[in-house]
Amino acid sequence: MIIACPACSTRYVVPDSAIGVDGRTVRCAKCRHSWFQEGTGAGADESEPPHASPPPPEPPRPAPPPVAPAAPSSPPATTEPPIARPEAHDPPEDAAPPPPPAPGFDEPPPVAETAAAAPQPDQPEDDYSPFSAEPPFRPRRNPLRIWTAAAAVFAVLALGTIGAVSYWGLPDWVPVSRPVFAMQQPDLVLEFPPEQQDRRTLPNGTEFFGASGTITNVGRETHTIPSILIVMRDARDRIVYSWEVAPPKAQLAPGESVTINEAVTDVPKSAKFAEIGWKPD
């Protein structure tokens, strides 16, 4: 059959099977215009009985003679409309073959696919929020809460440290000067005169140190006598030796005195003088 484009009047010779019985939408290869081409069964008589024999097929038309190519400088002269050949498609065995596309035509894509592939215009995002976040969502940090927790932890550590120091005292590794002797005891007078301190070397070469003194309770109440500490220092005032002396009595009544005589050997030779006081707790 011969079909013509309604827009540019270009004619095409296509087989009837390309258009089909029900017709199909075709597109002109020259001007790209699309239209619906009626099929071969559109003009059939509807009053014809359903079991009527089909009309005899039309004899095939002879193919037009080939057109000689024109010179490059002049446009090609063609008297016959272009003939397009249908593409071969293998129809499935269990279904009727769809009508092949018309030769020389560009079939428009489906409307659904065209609408899905077409870019959408920019629309205002009314529901957009700057605080929204897709997973994984990292919550915002609260500086006030962080500083409050840090202050609470620091307070607990400070209170624990103060309690430990007040109960056990400072550890030895803390670089803090500590008093060598304890504070003076109330109503207890400790006297170790320097003239009663004896420092000499024995005949066998052993260093000997001896000291004598008294403890007197000058108060009106009975007091417990703490331990006594004797410290030996060298010429640079560094402690080189020390020992603890237990009192001969645990308590002293008011006005009572007790005498203490203490002597030790193997004193370092660098020791030059001695200091005597109450032993710290």
Predicted pLDDT of residue 40: 74
* The model's pTM: 0.38
Identify which of 221, 228, 213 has the alpha carbon closest to the alpha carbon of residue 251. 221
User: Any idea what DSSP says for residue 126?
Assistant: T
C-alpha 212/C-alpha 201 separation (Å) is 18
What is the reported pLDDT for 79? 44
- pLDDT tens digit sequence for 13-47: 888 888 888 888 888 988 988 988 888 765 444 43
pLDDT along the chain (281 residues), means of 10: 88 83 86 86 46 54 59 48 44 50 50 43 53 57 89 94 79 68 88 88 88 91 91 89 89 91 88 89 76
pLDDT confidence of residue 98: 56
**Contact 230/276 with Cβ under 8 angstroms?**
yes
Q: Where are the domains of the chain?
A: 1-42+62-118, 188-278
pLDDT of residue 164: 86
Distance CA 144, CA 150 (A): 10
pLDDT at res. 138: 62
Among candidates 84, 129, 81, 78, which has minimal Cα distance to 106? 84
For residue 227, which of 195, 185, 265, 272 has the smallest C-alpha distance?
185
The per-residue pLDDT for 181 is: 86
**Biggest alpha carbon–alpha carbon distance for the chain:** 158
Residues 170 and 177: beta-carbon distance below 8 Å: no
Kindly list the strands in the beta sheet with 239-245, ordered across the sheet, starting from the edge strand earlier in the chain: 239-245, 228-233, 273-278
Contact call for residues 104 and 12 (beta carbons, < 8 A): yes
pLDDT of residue 47: 39
Question: Is-cis flag, bond preceding 136, omega within 30?
Answer: yes
Rounded to 5 degrees, φ, ψ at 206 are: -80, 140
* Number of CB atoms found within 10 A of residue 217's CB: 22
Q: With contact defined as beta carbons under 8 Å apart, do 241 and 268 qualify?
A: yes
Alpha carbon 93 to chain centroid, angstroms = 59
Q: Fold for 188-278, please state it.
A: Immunoglobulin-like (2.60.40)
pLDDT at position 93: 46
Report yes or no: 214 and 191 within 8 Å, Cβ to Cβ: yes
- Taking only the tens place, the pLDDT of each residue in 208-246 is 889 899 999 999 999 999 999 999 899 888 989 998 999
